[in-house]
Amino acid sequence: MTALSSEGSLLIGQLFYQALQQLERPTSAVGGMVLGAAPLVTSVTAYSAFVGNPLNGFLVRKEAKAHGGTKQIEGHLQATSRVVLVEDVVTTGGSTLKAIDAIRKQFPHIDIVGVLALVDRHAGARERFLQRGIPLHTLFGIDAFLQE
């Protein structure tokens, strides 16, 4: 709901863009799994254009379309892109791992710089991503929302 509100979308775009600027390796594209990542990708790509440093965006479907272009990945993703996958909340990382598999299937040597999420529920995602050599960066841990 936050990402689909005007103020939330702007804030997410700004916070994600700032977090991307702190990464060791520069990023040229952000993306993630349909449907959850769509507003996040839009927020950060729009904000990046607003500040004069535009990033490309892409979305990964669960399966390739059966009609039209029969694509599983839509948007601006190239074999030379340095990408960060975005998520609102990560638990076990399952959907993002599916996106990673789809990206690597189409672009085996693409540079996946990391995963960026608003909230980490601390339920295994970080460890699963690290097993693939992909760091998880989060703005908040679940603890921030459970404190009195």
Element of type H or E holding 33: strand 29-33
Coil, strand, or helix at residue 21?
Answer: helix
Q: What residue ranges do the domains of the chain occupy?
A: 6-146
At which residue do the structure tokens 């948007």 appear? 75
Q: Name the pTM for this structure.
A: 0.93
CATH topology of domain 6-146: Rossmann fold (3.40.50)
pLDDT in tens, the chain (148 residues): 889 999 999 999 999 999 999 998 899 999 999 999 999 999 999 999 999 999 999 999 988 866 666 789 999 999 999 999 999 999 999 999 999 999 999 999 999 999 999 999 999 999 999 999 999 999 999 998 886 5
| Cβ atoms of residues 34 and 25 within 8 Å | no
Q: What is the pLDDT of residue 29?
A: 98
Residue type, 121: R
Q: What is the pLDDT of residue 69?
A: 67
